[in-house]
Structure formats: structure tokens, C-alpha cells
Amino acid sequence: MVASFSQAKELVCRQRGDPENPQIFKDGNIILGGIFSLHSSWKDRQETYTNKPLPLECISLNFRDFQVAHAMIFTIEQINNSTDLLPGISLGYKLYDTCGSIARSVQVALALANGNDILSALTEAPCNRPAQVQAIMGETSSSPCMAIATVIGPFNIPLISHFATCACLSDKTKYPSFLRTIPSDYYQSRALAQLVKYFGWTWVGAIRSNDDYGNSGMATFTETAQELGICLEYSVSLFRTDPPNKIEKIIKTIKYSNSKVIVAFLSALDLDVLMYQLSQHNLTGYQWVGSEGWIFDSQIAEKDQHHILNGAIGLSIPKVHVSGIKEFILDVKPLNSSGNDILMKFWEALFSCKFNQSMPSAKNQRECTGHEDLSELKHSFTDMSHMPIFNNIYKGVYAVAHALHNILGCNETCNYKVQLDPFTILQHIKNISFKTKEGDEVYFNENGDPPAKYEIINWQPGKNGIADFVSVGLYDASLPVNKQLSLQHRSLFWPHNSRQVPVSVCNEKCPPGTRKVLQKGKPVCCYDCIRCAEGEISNITDSITCVKCPPEFWSNERRDACVKKEAEFLSYEEMMGALLTAASLFGTCMTAVVAFIFFRYRKTPIVRANNSELSFLLLFSLTLCFLCSLTFIGRPSEWSCMLRHTAFGITFVLCISCVLGKTMVVLMAFRASLPGSNVMKWFGPTQQRLSVLVFTLIQVIICILWLTISPPFPFRNLKEIKDKIILECALGSTLGFWAVLGYIGVLATFCFILAFLARKLPDNFNEAKFITFSMLIFCAVWITFIPAYVSSPGKFSVAVEIFAILASSFGLLICIFIPKCYIILLRPEKNTKKNMMGKGAQKTS
């Protein structure tokens, strides 16, 4: 409104622009406004900006919004006929057509707020005045609602939408007077993401309407999808007025993509344009996931002749039946209603007829009577599949009526004197809570939104090749997260009427035993499956890490479970253990046989020649040496660990002491045979026994100290062999172990030196040669033992030690005793004192 002064300085109010008249209207005590897209588009024209632009020329009738408009009229008529709500008050309405134009939406909203008076009375009254309508119902889409709410918000005129779902409209700082009877897309977008995740689709494409509805809804979906591990291969936008080359580009994106699931956050009008192009390229077999904007749109289903959307799944407003609304819509008569022009235009489109046959364009069309029967017509206008939308407009009108009922203090009658104020009406609408005749509870939260509940719809094969919308589940945002989604999985149909859930992933899931490694430069859903390293496992699908097994466990071959490590030790049952045991027992038996031979021929010269007592003691110690090797075989225990090393150390020292004693006897005997020598009295049998005892006692003391300070103990070696537990005897004190070996080495070296010095004595004392050779073998074995023992893993180090014991024992037994046994058994003629002495005399002479 613009205020100006005439020459008489009188106030005149003028309205800018042309007056906007409602397409459908009815007077009443209280007027409600309605803004709908009765046409879906308009003719495009180039403006010259030299003349005032002409009004929009609307095209493409929108039968869905025409239904919604009549649902609003039905609700108002029902309230007017009610004695319980607003008794004595008649509601009127002014319904405007926006043709899908946002600019026109704002224009008609201002017309509803201001009225259509061209010139005010020439009075001194101010130009401002109360709003012409108390509330506005509409618009269907989010973008027009944002524009309208921005304009009328400062005036606090309630705007109640039945189908605008953009989450942005919940912002009360920007849109303080906006409310809606359909849930916000914030919940729908999150629900769609949960639905996609439920079926395991982690690699999807996304298409959205290029408006506030599509952009805002897809933004929330993308954010939630990322939280749930879902990746978008592509995300494109379109609007129904986009040029063909842009639509073609979207088709190519779909065609060359790998994802088999498309999330479509589209309005029905935008999908209609896209579906035509998809059918031209025969792009079928994709799994569509749809928003409420098109998933239960019967017109889309009828046009889908190529079954592009077969098996689609998505969210819709819960189904509901509003009594009487179907009959009301089917009883519309253009000649009996207000807004004849627009009604007649729709009637002509419905029945392909013309009301005025005198017009040239009507020559080939039959004449409309206005009394044609809608109930017999099969058309989208007579299709009641949009009943949930009708219910939304129904609840919106009733919310305004209940608010007015409370403000006017209605009981049996209403207080007509109350001055209605849009702000007061808005506050009452925000606080209302009631149930409709169908039992639906109506209330708004602090953002002006209703509770979020959706039906999950699945497109399934229907009659005549047209899909049926089958309810297969529910989504209730008021429940805990893990209970919000409820699905009847077995009743679902998928593309090509398959009953198998489609697969849409960038990569197949990584099986247990592997882990995911992201591919460079690609989204997180694209990865390679790398097998877990040895000793690590993953026992779940799509694991991002492999977990190390506990120390006593190891990964199995599939790397999906930890199995207890095999305990390894040298046992009697295995081949190596059995062979070493047999060698030990053979050595023991062989020693026993030699001892028996020596005992049997103990009085012969060859046995008596070099202290037979030391010989028998040496044989006894060799028997112990052979037997002590058995303590190294079998599962280590506390006692076996202490016994094996100490027994080995003491028996070998006893053995070497005996050999050392025999060597010294040879040397002393040679010295005693020299004239004037009395050396044998200093190294007689008593001294020989004493030397053996002293040498052995030193080793016993070393072993006692070792066992007292830090004895050997059973140890589970988990590190040396990664997939086995080596049961071994830890040395306890390494110094003790090497002291035992070192002492044996010192005695053996000393014995070897003495025997080496005695190797060239006369033949009757040639036992020194055999002792030298035996000591040479002994030292060679134990010198090579050290590196072999250190480098051998696990039970093989034990086998090396046993082999060294057996080899050195056999060396002593064979080199010292076998030659004598040969003479005793096979050359008895040489086993005489005369023979031995004769040879000695001969050499000394």
C-alpha cells in the first residue's frame, strides 16, 4: 500500500500492481486463505522491460493440487455444518493459483493479507488495517512456502502447509508464523539413510530437486549417510524446467555409474521429466529409494510404462481415510460452484469437451454439460491415493478452527465482539492439541512440526502393469534409534520382480581374516581387502583392523580365529626323540656288555694292566652319561630341569676324572719303570680314587651353588618360534651353566694334553694313544656343540645337547674299551703278561 497526498492534501491509499482475484472463493464471517499450484507451469516469454509485464499465462493443469484445494473446501464446509465447533460462525475462503511460480506465490500472499481495494475512502483514517484473512493454507512445495513465510511472517499471519517438508522451515527465527501438518525432512532424510543402511547399500547415487525441498533434504541425507558409513558415488540436481542437455548429462552419470541404488529426493513433477528420459535410454533394473514427494504418486506409477521404478522403496505419509471427502470431490459441479472459470477449465480437461461450442477451437470437441459423472471417470483427479495429503490439509484447517473456537470463547454460541488478531491466532494454533474424527492426534512442537511417522512403501506388481503401493513397514522417530525402523522383509519386491535384495557396494565386503585398506583418492566405501598378518585376526566382516592374538595363541590359516599354540618339546613319541632314546639305551647296553666282559676277564693282564678299578668306575660313569641324556627328553618339569644339567655335569666330570686318572697312571707307570724312580708310591690306588673324588666334588659344589642361587626352571618360550610354544628349561643362572661346561672343558683339555704327551710311550703303555684319540673326539664334539646349540631353535637345541652327550660318550667308550675287548675276545693270545712285558723289554733294550 502506498500513501500519497492530493492537491487538497487529503490522504489517499493506493495498492501497487493489478488486483489479484481468487480463483475459488466463498464469503464468511471469518476468511481463510489458500495458496495452491492449480497449474504446474507457465508460458515463458521474453520481457522487453519497456512496458509493464503482462500477468503469467498458466499452463499444465495440476489435478493433485486441485484435489487438495477441494479437500480444504470440504473441511471448511464440514466445520460450517458442525454445531460443536464454531457454532454460529461461518468460515469463508479465498483460494489462489500460483502456477508453480514463487514470485506469484508472494504476490497472492500479499493479496490475501491486504485485500483488493484499489482506492480507499477519502478519510483521515490510517492506511494500515487488519489482515483480510486469519490464516493461510498452503503452499504444496517448500520454496514457495519459504518465500511466503518470509513476507507474511512479520505480520504473524499463520501459514500452515500440508506438504512443504524442508527442514529449513523449522527455523522459527526466519519463519516465525510457519507451521505444517507433515513431518520435517530432517526426519525423513535420516529415515531414508537408515533404510539404505538396513539393506547394506553403501555405494549409492543421489538425485534431488534443485529447490529448497531437494537441496535441504539431500544435505541432511548426505550428512546422516556419512555417519552410517554410506558413500555417494554421485549427487546431481535437476528442475523440471532444466534444458535437455542438463537432463542428458544426468542420464549419462547414471548410465556409467557402478552403484545400483538411486536415492531420489524429488518432487513428482521433477521425476516425471527425468523418467521420460530414463525410458528413452531403457535404464531399468536400478533400485530406487524415494521420498514422500513421489513414492506414492499414482500419476507417476501410471506413466512408468517401462517399469523403470519397479521395486522402488521409500517413505510416505501414513495412510488414513477421511470420511466423506471422496464423495465430496466426486460431486464437484462446475456450474454450481464459485470460481466457475477455473472449474470449467478443469472440467474440460477431465472430459475432453468444451462449454462454449461457438468458439473456433471447439469445433472438433463435444460440448460440456457440466453434469458429467466423475465417479465413472478413470483419471488422476478421481484417484484417492493422495488421501494422506488430504488428511494433512484437513488437520490444518481444523487446527485453525479449534484455535478460533478457543479465542472466541465458543460454547453454545461464540463471542462475536472479540477482535481477531493474527498473532493471537498463531499462538493458539501452536498450543492446540486435539483428535480428529478419525482419531489422529494433532499438535505442533516448538518448531511448528507434527510428530514424525512414516509408512514404508514398496512398489509391487499390480493389475494392468501398474505398480501397487504396498505398505511393508513403519518408521517412528519418537522411538529409540534401534526401534525406529520396522520392516516386513519377506514381503518385499525388488527390480525385475526379484525377491533377492539388490547389492550396491563399491567393493564386496571384506571377509573375516582380512581388513579394509582405503583406496587412494576414493571415498571410504572403496577399499581393498588385505589379509591379516601372521599372529593377527579379524573375526567380523568389514573389519578395519586386525587384532593381535594373545601371547599363547596364534592365528589359524584363515586368520579369523586365534588357536592355542602347539606346545613343542622333544618327546619320546616323535621320530627324533625315539632315535635319541634308542641311541642312549644302546650306549647303556653297550657299556654294560663291556663291563660284563671286563668283569668276566678281570684277572687277565690287559684288564689289570691299567687300574681295573678306574676302568669299572669309568664304565659306570659312562652308563650314567648315556642315561642322563634321557632326562633331556619329555615335557620339562621343575625337577627334570634341575636334574638334567646337574646330572650331565657331574657324570661327565666323573667320567673325565676317571680318564684323567688313567692317563696319569700311564705317565706314572712309565716314570716308575725308569731306574731309581719311586713315583708310583705318590700316585697309588688311594691317590687315584682321591683325585677322582676331588675333581668330582668340585663339580658337585658348582652345581649346588647353581641350584641354590638360581636353578633351571621350566619356561614357555613364546618368542623364538612365532606359531609355537617352546617348552624348555631356562638356565636360571647362565653363569652356573657355563661354569659347569667350562669346568668339564678344563678337565678335558688337561686330560687331552697329558694323553698327548704320553702318546709315544712304549707299546705296552699304548692306552695313552686311545685316550688321546678319545679326548680329541670329546673336545671336537663339545667345541662344535657351542655354536650349534646357540643357533638351533626350540627342541633342536635340546637334541644338539643330547647328541653331544651321546657322541662324546660313545667316543670314550669305543676308543678306550673296544680295542681291549677286541684283544680279550678275538686275540686272546696277546692277553698275556709275558707278551706285554716282552714287548716292553725289547723296546727298552
Question: Are 272 and 266 contacting, i.e. CB atoms less than 8 angstroms apart?
Answer: no
Beta bridge partners, 203, equal 231
Q: What is the Cα–Cα distance from 474 to 276, expressed in whole angstroms?
A: 31
Strand ranges in 632-768 using DSSP code E only, listed in sequence order: 713-717, 724-730
Lookup: cell for 371: 453434469
Tell me the C-alpha distance between 798 and 778, whole Å: 18
Tell me the pairing of strands 514-518 and 231-238.
Answer: unpaired
* Three-class SS of 119-182: ECCCCCCCCCCCCCCCEEEECCCHHHHHHHHHHHHHHCCCEEECCCCCHHHHCCCCCCCEEECC
The C-alpha cell at 251 is 542420464
Any idea what the Cα angle at residue 111 is, between residues 331 and 346, rounded to 5°?
Answer: 25
DSSP, res 355 = S
What is the three-class DSSP state of 593? helix
Cell readout for 454 is 512414516
Q: Is the peptide bond before 367 cis (omega within 30 degrees of 0)?
A: no
- The pLDDT value given to residue 658: 87
User: By the 8 A CB rule, do 482 and 207 touch?
Assistant: no
145 in Cβ contact with 179 (< 8 Å): no
CA distance 787 to 804: 12
Cα–Cα distance for residue pair 801/793, rounded to 1 Å: 12
Q: Which three cell numbers stand for residue 553?
A: 595363541
Q: How far apart, in whole angstroms, are the C-alpha atoms of residue 354 and residue 248?
A: 38
CA 584 to chain centre: 60
Ranges assigned E (strand) in 351-412: 353-354, 366-367
- Measured CA to CA, the distance from residue 294 to residue 317 in angstroms comes to 11
Q: What angle do CA 507, 254, 218 make, to 5 degrees?
A: 85
Q: State the amino acid at position 455 in one-letter form.
A: E
Count Cβ atoms below 10 Å from residue 789 Cβ, excluding itself.
18
The predicted pLDDT at position 18 comes to 73
Q: What is the pLDDT of residue 765?
A: 45
Angle at 718 between CA 715 and CA 719, to 5 degrees: 120
Mean pLDDT per 10-residue section of the chain, whose length is 845 residues? 45 66 91 93 80 84 92 95 92 94 92 69 55 88 94 94 93 95 93 94 94 92 93 93 91 93 93 91 93 90 90 92 91 72 86 72 70 83 88 96 94 86 94 91 94 94 87 92 88 91 90 91 88 93 91 91 89 90 93 91 79 84 90 88 87 88 72 53 71 89 91 86 85 88 88 76 62 82 80 82 89 87 85 62 37
